[in-house]
Amino acid sequence: MHHFDVADDERYRLPPDPADRDFTTTSGEPVQEVYTAADLERVGFDPERNLGRPGEYPFTRGIHRNLYRGKLWTMRMFAGFGSAEETNARFRYLLDHGETGLSIAFDLPTLYGRDTDDPMAEGEFGKCGVAVSSLADMEILLDRIPLDQITTSMTINGPAAAIWAMYIATAEKRGIPRAALGGTLQNDILKEFTSQNEYIFPPRPSMKLVTDTIEFAARELPRWNSISVSGYHIREAGATATEELAFTLADGLAYVDAALARGLDIDEFAPRISFFFNCHNDFFEEIAKFRAARRIWARMMRERYGAKNPRSWWLRFHTQTAGCSLAAQEPENNIIRTTIQALAAVLGGTQSLHTNSLDEALALPSDWAVRIALRTQQIIAYESGVANSVDPLGGSYLVETMTSEMEQRVYAIFDEIAEQGGVLDAIENGYFQRRIADSAYRYERAVTERRKIVMGVNALRNEETPDIPMLQMDPHGEQRQRERLARVRRERDQAEWRAALDALEHAAREDRNLMPSLLRAVRAYATLGEITNCLKTVYGEYQPVVVV
């Protein structure tokens, strides 16, 4: 096996220090040699208005007075692969090893609202998450999971309302009332049109479906976050930290506007809006991003929308370490990257956290790699001491300057979005897509030109093939899923199934809230693909913008 010698190739030497170093953040923002009180004055920093104590408006220093001294963040490992049986086993493994909340990943056909036996799903079963085609799959996926004691996050968007209906129906079949359920539905369709591209219906009917879930949760599931406005995928697509934050908050405000237009009161639903952010490698830039996020959201909720309930002012967020930062070369280095990112998320005040596994640039994570990722959080929580004090970096000249600069850049992007006519118009004319593509290109060029160093990739590269255990999926899982799907279609009450789908289509055409009709459909064992196709007859399918 060849061990790479840096003398073999100038391209992989470390750059001279400091002549060729690029003193900018990961996002390309300049970093000064030293920060002083003069920098705080330059950015208009006002301790009275901008800082305050933890737990006090505008929550720059955190939404809770005592933060992790009162309760540690939820350790919520994102998991899902293959069949419902396999993923259920992984969930129980994680809970046995100290995980405190579930987070479900769905496979690509499910994310697009397709059944496992759909011809378009060929070859994609269980590869990026678990396959769920009907209530029967959801019942197996959640078997022996105490749904009234643990919170569950579900990363699903286009078919989110239908998948949520399956979750609620599963709990209720066990005798657990919907009001007792706690968790989060990602349900952020706007970012699908700009970054992840897992959409089904056009933007405006998609927004209608999201608003249905916000209204239903506000009135029926008081412990449920009906939407997790997601910057994660925006960042993974190549956006800068500032763009991630600005686009995410702009999307969040668009959902607020839609719920208000439905007739809801701001304090009826705003306390249950949550957020989901990426945490990349630039330690201080990421901490500043989280602190600025809280401050901006609090001000928008109180000053623009007039929310009276202090919980409406809170920006509560989940963090996942950056998948796009992981490298297939020297994958053991990914443990170090993930640790830095997780530490930044904790110092930034996250409410829950997923740490990526070292092997995710190669395959779905193995049990071994997942355990290391979970232990990373536990070591930070119990051994590092960083959870002992709230916002320990508050007051730092560097951190406070970066936080204020981030805030100012976000407001400038808000102005640009307003000039486009708002979020939906900016999606339809390709504004978001163009900005993200430009930022992705600039970053990749910086790596290619070695202005940004990625160890083991463009510096000190080792060509040795890693020898790590890889996840092996059950080769019979797909066949078992297909057989279960056929059995569901054969054994369900055909009259009730037909009536439920007809009622769903009728409700969609009458522009009513679809959640009651979706619950009826999933209880009748209508499949996810059947529900999606029913709604396509009313809403049509989205044709993406071509970015040039």
Provide the mean pLDDT of the chain: 93
> What is the pLDDT at residue 17?
64
Place of tokens 């070591």: 379
What SS3 state is found at 136?
helix
> What is the pLDDT at residue 8?
53
> What is the pLDDT at residue 449?
87
**1.20.140.10, 3.50.30.30, 2.40.100.10, 3.20.20.240: which CATH number matches 68-448?**
3.20.20.240
What SS3 state is found at 111?
helix
For residue 228, give the H/E element and its range: strand 227-230
Query: How far apart, in whole angstroms, are the C-alpha atoms of residue 427 and residue 254?
Result: 12
Domain ranges of the chain: 68-448
For residue 105, give the H/E element and its range: strand 101-105
For 449, the token pair is 């030109």
Query: Residues with Cβ < 8 Å from 116, sequence gap 6 or more?
Result: 109, 125, 131, 133, 478, 481, 482, 485
Q: Starting from the edge strand earliest in sequence, which strands make up the sheet with 74-79, in order?
A: 224-225, 183-185, 152-155, 101-105, 74-79, 352-354, 316-321, 273-279, 227-230
For 160, the token pair is 């989110």
Residue 277 bridge partners (DSSP): 319
| Contact predicate 321/355, CB 8 Å | yes
The residue type found at 205 is P
For 119, the token pair is 């011809």
For 69, the token pair is 């001294």
> What is the pLDDT at residue 544?
81
pLDDT averages per 10-residue partition of the chain, 548 residues: 46 64 88 96 88 93 96 89 92 89 93 96 91 97 95 95 98 97 96 94 96 97 96 96 98 97 97 97 98 98 98 97 94 96 98 94 88 96 97 96 97 97 94 96 92 89 75 82 96 98 98 98 98 98 77
For 422, the token pair is 């708002």
Query: How far apart, in whole angstroms, are the C-alpha atoms of residue 306 and residue 295?
Result: 15
For residue 78, give the H/E element and its range: strand 74-79
Class of residue 197 by CB neighbours under 10 A (exposed 0-12, middle 13-18, buried 19+): middle
Query: How far apart, in whole angstroms, are the C-alpha atoms of residue 429 and residue 421?
Result: 10
